[in-house]
Amino acid sequence: MRKLFFLFLSLCSTTAFSYQHGATLSYVIFPKDPTNLHGIRAAYWFQPESWIWKSAQIYIDTSAGHWWITSNSPNHSLNSIAVAPVLRYYLQKVPTISPYVEFSIGPSYLSRTRIDGRNLGMHFAFQDQLGIGMTYGKEERFYSSISVLHYSNGSLCRWNAGITVPIMLNLGYKFN
């Protein structure tokens, strides 16, 4: 654990003066599993300059989410926190609008192991996300995307009901 902490600290210190960062707000548009799911997710991301190439880039997304259902179930809500690398590939880079696709998978922690009678199995889950979107403006400060979001423990335990959101709206801003 100590080695991991110092590795993270050294990574942060070497990129402290050469990185981009921003924030994203996400909202469930269409849920699937469970069908009466609602949710919001707030994310902060950072990206070392060395992880930016002509048509692709990688950034680290850290997020917190609150998910709830509209029923009288005793397990009507849960919270999540996650950290995941995101690979973004630009289909075309132009000064005004640049469309992209992105993929992410990383570890997450769910505050409960059940929601609406669904047994998620354990607090640990993988957060998978696949999306399409676009950046706006010359400096690409604003962006929006539609994504598919899924939480699953990857069958690491007996129960694995998972949470699936086929359409999530994401709106974001790059600070620098």
| Alpha-carbon distance values, 39 to 10, 113, 168 (Å) | 35, 17, 9
pLDDT at position 73 is: 76
The model's confidence at residue 10, banded by pLDDT at 50, 70 and 90, is low
Give yes or no for a contact between 131 and 102, defined as CB atoms under 8 angstroms apart.
yes
**Architecture of the domain made up of 18-174:** Beta Barrel (2.40)
Q: What is the dihedral of CA 153, 85, 166, 26, to 10 degrees?
A: 120
d(CA 25, CA 20): 17
| Alpha-carbon distance values, 118 to 75, 94, 122, 128 (Å) | 9, 45, 12, 19
pLDDT at position 3 is: 60
- Helix ranges, the chain (H): 2-14
pTM: 0.85
d(CA 74, CA 82): 24
Give the whole-number percent of the chain exceeding pLDDT 90.
77
Question: Higher model confidence: residue 143 or residue 51?
Answer: 143
d(CA 98, CA 51): 18
d(CA 146, CA 29): 9
Give the whole-number percent of the chain exceeding pLDDT 70.
90
| Bridge partners for 41 per DSSP | 26, 65
| Bridge partners for 90 per DSSP | 100
Nearest CA to 104 out of 125, 83, 90 is that of 83
The model's confidence at residue 172, banded by pLDDT at 50, 70 and 90, is very high
- Mean pLDDT, the chain, rounded, equals 91
Read off the pLDDT of residues 45-86 as tens digits, 9 standing for 90 and up.
Answer: 999 999 989 899 999 999 999 999 988 878 899 999 999 999
User: CA-based Rg of the chain, rounded to a whole angstrom?
Assistant: 17
Whether 15 has a pLDDT exceeding 50, the answer reads: no
Q: Where are the domains of the chain?
A: 18-174
Report the run of H or E that residue 68 belongs to, with start and end: strand 56-69
